């Protein structure tokens, strides 16, 4: 085995989801000769962005304003989002939608030709644009077409194993081509990390199998600070197997019903009802089930029947298909059994509004980043928006950086260290397979860092994660072949997930308050005096995780000490 240096690109982007593609397109919009390469472990249109259902937010109606969107987002975040970042997100939303429209996105429209907008949780106005309930699918295909049209170099089915940084300077990445099984050093002037979420760290998840937090793992091991990783969003409505039923189903008027036939959200969010923010609705469902008002003690019902067949077929066609195929119920005739499912990674690689990380030349956007626009709880429809707004900013920043900087010399040492690591992993013949370690991690995370947390459960979980990291030291790879060695991919993904789990535990345990997705039964109140701050976890010189805190950026929205819906 060897690592060859056979490729050089000015701008390297890891990830071909909406964030990565937006970054690549923006670089080429500004300079048609920009030398951009996108690397993706799957074919671009298999990125998880393609699974997004409900829509993308923007204040575009005549009676709406980005200030309203900004306020709802900051309030929904439990005031933890940085207000400068939310200002950028919401004030640039309209242009982002116009750009997607220009690229050819097929947004659902009203009779008069204007863009249709549906209600979404925690929003005071209908401001979610959508393409039926297949928004991500359409947007991802639209951007991929644009990338193909511009001949962007895309290395798909290539897996990145390491970000090479020497003396604080970015040099390139190491990746392998899954088809050939060859390892390469790709030299670059600048890097955009756009690797998506890490929801698969938990057992019950709406995320694609590929959402394993690779970017966070790679960045953490490269010494970059990771922010607010204790906040994982749990979506209220998943099927029992975790598959998502979009918030758009409630946005179109769906009701949540317990076993007594009661619309129980009136007891938790009387004003917003089913369209309260996700953390609140998920906790309410969980409580209904825990207190014996669930059906079969396992789930509640999402009832769409009163919407009628025509509306369900036009606005929620995919939801109908998913319910029929995966739950055996036709929502036109029967309610859908649902319960909460882990959905979104609020934390990520710490970046500013220009997508800059702590290391010059390394930028980051999309779900793997923490800019922070979601704080302790993301509002539905804001994440697709984040990918296109900050993906574009990352592309522009990377292009500017690539013009001002040259390719740096690198030492062979970084390559040989990575080669040694991979070789010893592949050569090991005695040890444990990855699957049981992964299963234990998934169970531990859902039990200890799930919808309700407390000191004891989290301490136990943190210790278990440490144990799993030790077990991982002896992990073996059965497949010794080169072509499509998915066994190797699964092991490297597990390594990243274990880092994510570890960072989550380090941020969660000392946060002795409840805020958004971090809900502690032993500290049920939000505590602005002590915890109105972002957690930052960074590896020190000995490879140990160190926790520190960073102030929240406040502009003109005064943080409240209590939140009501
Ligand atoms: C089921 C579902 C429905 C959703 N619905 C909505 C919605 O309606 N509205 C909304 O706003 N948000 C929604 N979200 C969230 C939103 O879709 C995501 O946050 C967003 O699309 C993430 O985009 P991204 O570009 O950051 O990452 P992704 O689209 O996940 O792309 C990640 C890319 O990184 C690549 N990659 C990762 N690791 C490596 C590696 N080691 N080497 C090489 N390549 C790598 C992958 O191949 C992929 O191309 C939904 C999420 C889910 C799971």
Q: Which residues form the domain of 520?
A: 413-535
- Residues 418, 504 within the same domain: yes
- Within-domain flag for 488: yes
Tens-place pLDDT, residues 56-71:
999 999 899 999 999 9
Q: Is the CB of 195 under 6 A from ligand 1?
A: yes
> How many H-runs (helices) and E-runs (strands) does the chain carry?
16, 19
Tens-place pLDDT, residues 455-505:
999 999 999 999 999 999 999 999 999 899 999 999 999 999 999 999 999
Nearest to 190 by CA among 9, 435, 445, 456: 9
Q: Is the CB of 49 under 6 A from ligand 1?
A: yes
- Within-domain flag for 225: no
The pLDDT of residue 10 is 98
Token pair of 180 as six digits: 């050939």
Q: Which atom of ligand 1 is nearest to the CA of 367?
A: 26
Whose Cα sits closest to atom 50 in ligand 1?
52
Q: Which atom of ligand 1 is nearest to the CA of 215?
A: 38
- Within-domain flag for 521: yes
Sign of the C-alpha dihedral, residues 418, 423, 429, 434?
positive
The average pLDDT across 508-534 equals 97
- Within-domain flag for 86: no
Q: Is 400 exposed, middle or buried (0-12, 13-18, 19+ CB in 10 A)?
A: middle
End position of a domain, from candidates 302, 324, 341:
341
- The answer to whether 179 and 200 have CB atoms below 8 angstroms apart is no
Q: Which atom of ligand 1 is nearest to the CA of 345?
A: 19
Tens-place pLDDT, residues 254-288:
999 999 999 999 999 999 999 988 899 999 999 99
- Within-domain flag for 209: no
Token pair of 158 as six digits: 């290539």
Q: Is the CB of 384 under 6 A from ligand 1?
A: yes
Length of the chain: 565
Say how many Å lie between the CA of residue 139 and the centre of ligand 1: 12
Active-site residue, 278 included: yes
Say how many Å lie between the CA of residue 210 and the centre of ligand 1: 9
- Please tell me whether residue 158 adopts helix, strand or coil conformation: strand
Tens-place pLDDT, residues 194-230:
999 999 999 999 999 999 999 999 999 999 999 999 9
User: What percent of the chain shows pLDDT beyond 90?
Assistant: 93
Whose Cα sits closest to atom 10 in ligand 1?
381
Confidence of residue 5 (pLDDT cuts 50, 70, 90): low
Flag whether pLDDT at 43 surpasses 90. Answer: yes
Domain CATH for 505: 1.20.58.100
- Within-domain flag for 184: no
The pLDDT of residue 3 is 84
Token pair of 41 as six digits: 């472990």
Whose Cα sits closest to atom 27 in ligand 1?
196
The average pLDDT across 501-524 equals 97
Q: Is the CB of 236 under 6 A from ligand 1?
A: no
- Within-domain flag for 526: yes
The answer to pTM > 0.95 is yes
List the end-to-end C-alpha distance of the chain, in Å, as a whole number.
Answer: 58
Tens-place pLDDT, residues 390-446:
999 999 999 999 999 999 888 888 889 999 999 999 999 999 999 999 999 999 999
Q: Is the CB of 147 under 6 A from ligand 1?
A: no
Question: What per-residue string of b and e applies to 305-332 under the rule 16 or more CB within 10 Å gives b?
Answer: eebeeeebeebbebbbebbeeebebebb
- Residues 333, 440 within the same domain: no
- Residues 315, 420 within the same domain: no
- Within-domain flag for 502: yes
With a CB cutoff of 8 Å and minimum separation 6, the contacts of 513 are 520, 523, 525, 526, 527, 530, 531
User: How far apart are the C-alpha atoms of 128 and 380, rounded to whole Å?
Assistant: 9
Residue with tokens 């998506």: 196
With a CB cutoff of 8 Å and minimum separation 6, the contacts of 108 are 115, 116, 129, 130, 131, 132, 315
Phi and psi torsions of 356, nearest 5°: -80, 135
Q: Which atom of ligand 1 is nearest to the CA of 40?
A: 44
Which of 46, 187, 278, 490 is labelled catalytic?
278
Say how many Å lie between the CA of residue 17 and the centre of ligand 1: 6
Q: Is the CB of 17 under 6 A from ligand 1?
A: yes
- The answer to whether 342 and 279 have CB atoms below 8 angstroms apart is no
Count of domains observed in the chain: 2
Nearest to 354 by CA among 310, 299, 398: 398
Domain CATH for 312: 3.90.700.10
Q: Which of the listed residues 19, 43, 52 should we mutate to test ligand 1's pocket, taking the one with most ligand atoms within 8 A of CB? A: 52
- The answer to whether 509 and 462 have CB atoms below 8 angstroms apart is yes
- Residues 430, 324 within the same domain: no
End position of a domain, from candidates 341, 363, 382:
341
Q: Is the CB of 161 under 6 A from ligand 1?
A: no
Residue ranges of the alpha helices (H) in 330-411? Answer: 382-404
End position of a domain, from candidates 286, 320, 341:
341
- Residues 425, 321 within the same domain: no
Q: Which atom of ligand 1 is nearest to the CA of 15?
A: 34
């Amino acid at each position: 085995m060897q690592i060859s240096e056979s490729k050089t690109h000015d701008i390297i982007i890891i990830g071909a989801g909406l964030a990565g593609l937006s970054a690549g397109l923006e670089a080429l919009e500004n300079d048609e000769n920009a030398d951009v390469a996108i690397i993706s472990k799957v074919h671009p249109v298999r990125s998880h962005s393609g699974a997004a259902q409900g829509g993308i937010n923007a204040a575009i109606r005549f009676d709406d304003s980005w200030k309203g969107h900004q306020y709802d987002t900051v309030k929904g975040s439990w005031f933890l989002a940085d207000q400068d970042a939310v200002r950028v997100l919401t004030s640039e939303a309209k242009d982002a939608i116009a750009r997607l429209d220009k690229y050819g996105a097929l947004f659902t429209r009203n009779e008069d030709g204007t863009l249709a907008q549906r209600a979404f949780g925690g929003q005071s106005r209908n401001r979610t644009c959508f393409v039926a309930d297949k928004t991500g699918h359409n947007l991802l295909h639209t951007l991929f077409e644009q990338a193909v049209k511009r001949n962007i170099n895309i290395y798909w089915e290539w897996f990145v194993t390491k970000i090479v940084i020497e003396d604080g300077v970015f040099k390139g990445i190491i990746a392998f081509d899954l088809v050939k099984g060859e390892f390469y050093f790709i030299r670059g002037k600048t890097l955009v990390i756009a690797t998506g979420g890490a929801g698969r760290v938990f057992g019950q998840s709406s995320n694609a199998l590929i959402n394993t937090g690779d970017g966070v793992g790679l960045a953490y091991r490269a010494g970059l600070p990771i922010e607010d990783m204790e906040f994982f969003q749990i979506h209220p409505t998943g099927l029992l197997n975790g598959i998502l039923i979009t918030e758009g189903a409630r946005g179109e008027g769906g009701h949540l019903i317990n076993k007594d036939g009661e619309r129980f959200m009136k007891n938790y969010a009387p004003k917003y009802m089913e369209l309260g923010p996700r953390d609140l609705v998920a906790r309410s469902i969980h409580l209904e089930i825990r207190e014996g008002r669930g059906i079969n003690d396992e789930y509640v019902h999402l009832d769409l029947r009163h919407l009628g067949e025509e509306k369900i077929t036009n606005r929620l066609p995919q939801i109908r298909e998913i319910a029929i195929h995966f739950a055996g119920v036709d929502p036109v005739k029967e309610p859908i059994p649902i319960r909460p499912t882990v959905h979104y990674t609020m934390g990520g690689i710490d970046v500013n509004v220009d997508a800059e990380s702590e290391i010059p030349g390394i930028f980051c956007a999309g779900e793997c980043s923490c800019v922070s626009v979601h704080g302790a709880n993301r509002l539905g429809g804001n994440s697709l928006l984040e990918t296109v707004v900050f993906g574009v900013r990352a592309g522009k920043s990377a292009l500017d950086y690539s013009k001002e900087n040259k390719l740096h010399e690198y030492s062979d040492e970084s390559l040989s260290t990575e080669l040694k690591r991979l070789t010893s992993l592949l050569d090991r013949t005695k040890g444990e397979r990855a699957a049981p370690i992964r299963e234990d991690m998934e169970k531990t995370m859902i039990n200890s860092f799930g919808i309700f947390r407390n000191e004891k459960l989290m301490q136990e979980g943190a210790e278990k994660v440490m144990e799993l990291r030790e077990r991982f030291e002896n992990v073996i790879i059965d497949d010794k072949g080169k072509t499509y060695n998915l066994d190797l991919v699964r092991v490297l993904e597990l390594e990243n997930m274990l880092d994510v789990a570890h960072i989550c535990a380090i941020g969660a345990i000392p946060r002795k308050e409840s805020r958004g997705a971090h809900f502690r039964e032993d500290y049920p109140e939000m505590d602005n005096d002590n915890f109105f701050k972002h957690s930052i976890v960074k590896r020190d010189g000995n490879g140990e995780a160190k926790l520190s805190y960073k102030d929240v950026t406040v502009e003109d929205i005064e943080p409240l000490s209590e939140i009501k819906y």
